[in-house]
Amino acid sequence: MRLTTVCILVLLGISLLPGKARAQTATVRGIVRDTLTRDVLPYAHVIQAETRRGVSADAHGRFEFAVGRGSTTLIISHLGYKSQSVFVQGTDTSISVSLTPIAYLLQEVSIYARSTTETDAAVSLSKLQRDQVVHIAGMTKDVLRALETLPSVSVNNEASARFNVRGGTSDENLVLVNGVRVYEPYHLKAEPLASIGIFNVEMVKKIDFVSGGFTAEHGDALSSVLTVDYRAGNTEKVVGKASLSLIDLSVLCEGPASQQASWILGVRKSYLEYMLKYVNANPSAYLAFYDIQGQVDYELAPSNKVRLNFISSGDDFTYDPTTKSSRFWDLTMINGERITVTRTQAEFREADFHYANNLFSIRSTNLFSARLMNEISLSVSDEFTDEEARSKRETSSIYQGKPQYFFTNAWEATLSERLHVTTSDLNSSFSYQPAPTVFLKAGGSLQRVVYSTDRNYSSPPEVRRTNIYGFPDTTVGYNPPDPEFNDTTNLEVSSYKVAGYLQGTWQLSDRFLLNAGGRFDYFDMNEDLTWSPRMSFSYQIPKGTIIRGAWGVFHQSPTYNQLRSARPDGGNTRSQRAVHYILGAEQKVLEDLSFKVEGYYKKYDNLLPVQRHGDGSLHYGKKQNNAEGIARGFDLHAVLSTPKVYAWISYGFLEAKERLV
């Protein structure tokens, strides 16, 4: 009996132990999201501040954490995001945590597309942003038109997608698609006054734009960084849609390839060539473009994802042989005699331009732990240019007097150029978070570029005939053409670029973020090695005000167009250089109204002299870094964003100067 009683008491005690343990702990369940896109953040790190114990969220951003019954603080962090402290009571509870990207807090302006993963009320902000892009782009559905609303961006005309940033030229901007650099991302290249971006608005997930002071991660650009990220395809079923814009027809298809993979494919084809014939605006001109863009996302494992992208685009511009003539009359006085002048002008022009671009890239994202991530990408880009053009102009002036005077002028030029540029890029980066408030990133790249060109440009001497000054003799004058524009080039050149960077972001407090880093770039064509230190900060003061500042040195190696069109001078063309100083503030006046002001100063040196034509095209002089300049000003930007109304007002003041030294 006594033994039986002891056994019962032991069993009763054992049965009570789990209940006692449960009574001393509580479970906190949560999900971690991106504040801006509302996408979940997989493998976020959750630490209890008092004990330093931690867990990691799963691939869907969800976590469970056992804590004591007393109140405690959880620190939630993720690579590339500002960490957040959450106070929880010692009871079973569920929380939703939103983390803000560090890049957004420091400098970026972000425009997001519709979220494809969530349908809760918070998505309305993302959906509204997507609609903003479409509305701003207008009937062209060109996502680059959204940039034109920013005060830091200027364009040469409303019909062009090419943009300048804070006094820079259009070739000073770095454009990335899914992390891969894209050169000349425009259609209608042969028409300087009109161009369209190659990005398919139906495939875009988000656009990030930095108008200056960008971190050491990005280089080989003097003015800005534009990053376009495409979304993954539908993972549940195959769907498609077709749409018609003012200038093109677009078809989009997407769907699952397997349980771990999805695909998306977009095709656009212009119908400008048919519109021009219909309106008879210029029956001699033929404009057409197309682009085919696709993406495959494959999840090898929850911590390893692979993305394949390709973009194939082409442009055709043909101007049929056409002669245009004009005639008008004028009155003038010669030797006291009133004379009628008959002036005629005839212009002949023909052109046949073809452009093609093909880009293929593969990127692997590898999450080794909640604190360490690696990204590696390989891309190959082919750019083809085939241009043939001939122009001729004749003018004459006949003076109907006694004696009869005349003046004639004749000029012509012929261009034939074939260019093939192949660019291969290998990029790798490592992101490491040794502590919730410290984020480190390092990376490097190797690029090989092969130029193959066959160019022939000829322009015979301009001939002028006149007898105004020596009647009855005829004077013949010759204007010899510039040797720069009379050349025959047939060559193939290969070069490589090497770059590396290291940067860190420190969350010194809940309000203060500091980023510092540097990068080096080496270009073997001119054997130029550059160093570029960078620094930026963000400080949030009460009542929703954020103060931002940045300083940095930026270099850009000579582009092919600069080396091709410039005259040789016997020297070595170096990288151009700019130093940025930026200070600004952003204030959230109301829940739906925000206001931003930013001042900047940019000091340029080692510039290649450039002549900017009225149509936006650029012409470089000698291959000599003998110019310097400044750009200074301020930008004002106010945005009202509600579920039914989106409005903005922008003002930018800019003063830019350039001089030879």
Q: Give me the DSSP letters along 264-285.
A: EEEEEEE-HHHHHHHHTS-TTE
Most confident of 102-111, 120-129, 350-359: 350-359
Over residues 490-505, mean pLDDT: 92
* Whether 568 contacts 487, CB under 8 Å: no
Mean pLDDT calculated for residue range 36-54: 84
191-205, 289-303, 322-336: which range is least confident on average?
322-336
Residue type, 494: S
543 three-class SS: coil
- Rounded to whole angstroms, the Cα distance separating 590 from 603 reads 36
Q: Which residue has the higher pLDDT, 491 or 450?
A: 450
DSSP state of 178: T
Report d(CA 208, CA 582) in Å as an integer: 18
Per-residue confidence (pLDDT) for residue 115, from 0 to 100: 38
Give the pLDDT confidence score for residue 222 in this predicted structure. Answer: 94
Q: What are phi and psi of 516, to 5 degrees?
A: -145, 145
Task: Give the whole-angstrom CA distance, residue 285 versus residue 207.
Answer: 34
> Does the structure show a pLDDT above 90 at 218?
yes
Cβ-proximal residues to 427 (8 Å cutoff; 6+ apart), any chain = 179, 375, 376, 377, 378, 379, 443, 444, 445
Tell me the pLDDT band of 139, cut-offs 50, 70 and 90: low
Half-sphere exposure of 477 (CA within 13 A, CB side): 11
Range scoring the smallest mean pLDDT among 34-38, 108-112, 552-556: 108-112
Structure tokens at 147: 């940039």
236-247: b or e for each residue (b if 16 or more CB lie within 10 Å)?
Answer: eeeeeeeeebeb
* pLDDT above 60 (res 529): yes
Q: Which of 195, 187, 191, 188 is nearest to 160 (CA)?
A: 195
Other C-beta atoms within 10 Å of 385: how many?
20
Lowest model confidence (mean pLDDT) among 96-100, 127-131, 237-241, 445-449: 127-131
Report which of residues 448 and 82 the model is more confident about: 448
Kindly state the average pLDDT of the residues 357-377.
Answer: 92
Would you state the pLDDT for residue 599? Answer: 94
Using the 8-state DSSP alphabet, how is residue 40 labeled? B
Closest CA to 212 of 165, 149, 170: 165
Least confident segment among 58-62, 485-489, 567-571, 646-650: 567-571
Supply the pLDDT for residue 346.
Answer: 78
Segment 421-441, tens digit of pLDDT: 999 999 999 999 998 889 999
- Tens of pLDDT, residues 379-391: 999 999 888 888 8
How many residues appear in the chain?
661
pLDDT at 163 over 80: yes
The band of 59, judged by pLDDT with boundaries at 50, 70 and 90, is confident
Q: How many CB atoms lie within 10 A of CB 254?
A: 24
Which two tokens mark 417? Answer: 């150029």
pLDDT over 70, % of the chain: 81
- Write the pLDDT tens digit of every residue in 587-603: 888 878 888 899 999 99
Q: What pLDDT digit, counting tens, does each position of 405-420 carry?
A: 777 777 778 888 888 9
561 neighbors 618 (Cβ within 8 angstroms): yes
Does the pLDDT at position 615 exceed 80? no
Computed on alpha carbons and rounded to an integer, the radius of gyration of the chain in Å comes to 31
Q: CA 627 → CA 504, 558, 572, distances in Å?
A: 34, 14, 15
Architecture of domain 22-100 in CATH?
A: Sandwich (2.60)
What do you get for the CA distance between the two ends of the chain, in Å? 109
Residue 516 has pLDDT above 90, yes or no: yes
The residue among 33 and 113 whose pLDDT is bigger is: 33
Q: Does the structure show a pLDDT above 80 at 336?
A: no
Summarize pLDDT for 247-273 with one digit per residue, the tens.
889 999 999 999 899 999 999 999 877
Q: Domain boundaries in the chain?
A: 22-100
Q: What is the mean pLDDT of the chain?
A: 81
**DSSP summary character for residue 184:** S
Q: Which residue has the higher pLDDT, 475 or 642?
A: 642
Bridge partner list, 334: 337
pTM above 0.85, yes or no: no
